[in-house]
């Protein structure tokens, strides 16, 4: 039986260590040869260690492949890394965004993990890898092309600047600069400003693609907030986290993924 060598690329230190710990528990036969915090370290470790499995965070900060030279690749995300060595290793993508997983991963013989990673889900991934065999990795070019299209950053020109929303029998025009939060309501979205609320006929999932990710953070699948408007995050007696915005009294749910990011600031 050939040696199972695993590489991990995840920029968030707590999540990287959590994945290392879980892999030791659910896949004792595997040797974790590298746990990297950026693309450059991952590329160097891959060439040095020649792993046959790589767990890659889809989104890692920094420039994309097109804007990055061969000598400066620290900002490469998981898709860019897979383009470099996906033909030599089995790839498992790690993502906090389940909509990308549902639409894109159906197209290829590849697996994905949603953050926060559950041990039972990781065990399923390991079982799939073992059942598939770790010799020749499957072709994933079509999958990577689809993911690149799905995750392509919205250009400044394409970003949403104005919103037409309904408020009772009245239609109002809101500048995105005045919005402090968006909340999912069935197939519609509630637009929240410091002094007003209104409904738009667009799902939160669609809306997120048109917003600047540096200004608006998706803290939960049902809520997106302006980062500059965040007041505080508190945990209740059940361990769930809730966020409040400046000038607002309501509490918004916060996913475990966002809480980890918030603590790292």
Q: What is the CATH number for 166?
A: 2.40.50.1020
Could you tell me the pLDDT band of residue 243, with boundaries at 50, 70 and 90? very high
Q: Which of 109, 125, 151 is the last residue of a domain?
A: 151
- Clarify whether residues 183 and 147 are in a common domain: no
One-letter-per-residue 3-state SS of 135-199: CCCCCCHHHHHHHHHHHCCCCCCCCCCEEEEEECCEEEEEEHHHEEEEEEECCEEEEEECCCEEE
Q: End-to-end distance of the chain based on CA atoms, in angstroms?
A: 44
At 13, which helix (H) or strand (E)? helix 13-26
Long-range own/partner contacts, residues 256-263 (CB < 8 A, 24 or more apart): 256/115, 256/116, 257/15, 257/96, 257/115, 257/116, 258/217, 258/218, 258/219, 258/220, 259/233, 260/12, 260/14, 260/15, 260/116, 261/12, 262/233, 263/14
Q: How many structural domains compose the chain? A: 2
- Clarify whether residues 168 and 218 are in a common domain: yes
pLDDT digits (tens, 9 = 90+) for 246-262: 989 899 999 876 776 66
- Clarify whether residues 144 and 168 are in a common domain: no
Is position 157 within any domain? no
- Clarify whether residues 36 and 79 are in a common domain: yes
- Clarify whether residues 188 and 169 are in a common domain: yes
Residue 265, pLDDT above cutoff 60: no
- Clarify whether residues 23 and 142 are in a common domain: yes
Q: Which of 132, 151, 170 is the last residue of a domain?
A: 151
Long-range own/partner contacts, residues 248-253 (CB < 8 A, 24 or more apart): 248/180, 248/181, 248/192, 248/194, 252/181, 252/183, 252/219, 252/220, 252/223, 252/225, 253/219, 253/220, 253/222, 253/223
- Clarify whether residues 93 and 36 are in a common domain: yes
Q: List the one residue out of 144, 149, 173, 150 whose CA is nearest residue 161.
A: 173
- Clarify whether residues 146 and 255 are in a common domain: no
pLDDT digits (tens, 9 = 90+) for 72-84: 344 578 888 988 8
> What does the pLDDT average to over 161-179?
86
- Clarify whether residues 114 and 220 are in a common domain: no
- Clarify whether residues 146 and 24 are in a common domain: yes
- Clarify whether residues 107 and 173 are in a common domain: no
Residue 3, pLDDT above cutoff 90: no
- Clarify whether residues 108 and 175 are in a common domain: no
Q: What is the CATH number of the domain that holds 132?
A: 3.40.50.2300
Q: Which of 151, 185, 217 is the last residue of a domain?
A: 151
What is the pLDDT, as a whole number, of residue 73?
44
Dist. CA 101–CA 108, nearest whole Å: 11
Segments in 50-140 forming alpha helices (H):
78-85, 98-104, 119-132
Is position 192 within any domain? yes
Q: Which domain range does residue 34 map to?
A: 4-151
């Amino acid at each position: 039986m050939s040696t199972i060598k695993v590489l991990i690329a995840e920029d968030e230190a707590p999540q990287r260590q959590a994945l290392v710990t879980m892999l030791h528990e659910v896949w004792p036969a595997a040797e974790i040869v590298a746990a990297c915090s950026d693309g450059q370290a991952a590329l160097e470790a891959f060439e040095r260690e020649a792993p046959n499995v790589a767990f890659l965070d889809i989104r890692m900060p920094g420039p994309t492949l097109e804007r990055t030279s061969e000598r400066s690749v620290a900002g490469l995300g998981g898709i860019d890394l897979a383009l470099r060595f996906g033909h030599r290793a089995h790839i498992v993508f790690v993502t906090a965004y389940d909509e990308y997983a549902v639409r894109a991963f159906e197209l290829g013989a590849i697996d994905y993990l949603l953050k926060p990673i559950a041990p039972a889900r990781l065990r399923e991934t390991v079982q799939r890898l073992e059942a598939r065999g770790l010799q020749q990795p499957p072709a994933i070019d079509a999958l990577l092309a689809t993911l690149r299209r799905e995750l392509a950053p919205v250009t400044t020109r394409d970003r949403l600047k104005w919103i037409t929303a309904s408020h009772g029998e009245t239609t109002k025009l809101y500048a995105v600069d005045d919005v402090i939060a968006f909340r999912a309501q069935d197939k519609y979205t509630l637009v929240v400003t410091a002094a007003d609320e209104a409904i738009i006929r667009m799902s939160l999932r669609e809306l997120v693609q048109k917003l600047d990710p540096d200004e608006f953070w998706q803290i939960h699948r049902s809520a997106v907030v302006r980062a500059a408007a965040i007041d505080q995050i508190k945990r209740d007696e059940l361990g769930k986290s809730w966020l409040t915005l400046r000038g607002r009294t309501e509490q918004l749910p916060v996913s475990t993924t966002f809480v980890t990011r918030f603590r790292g600031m």
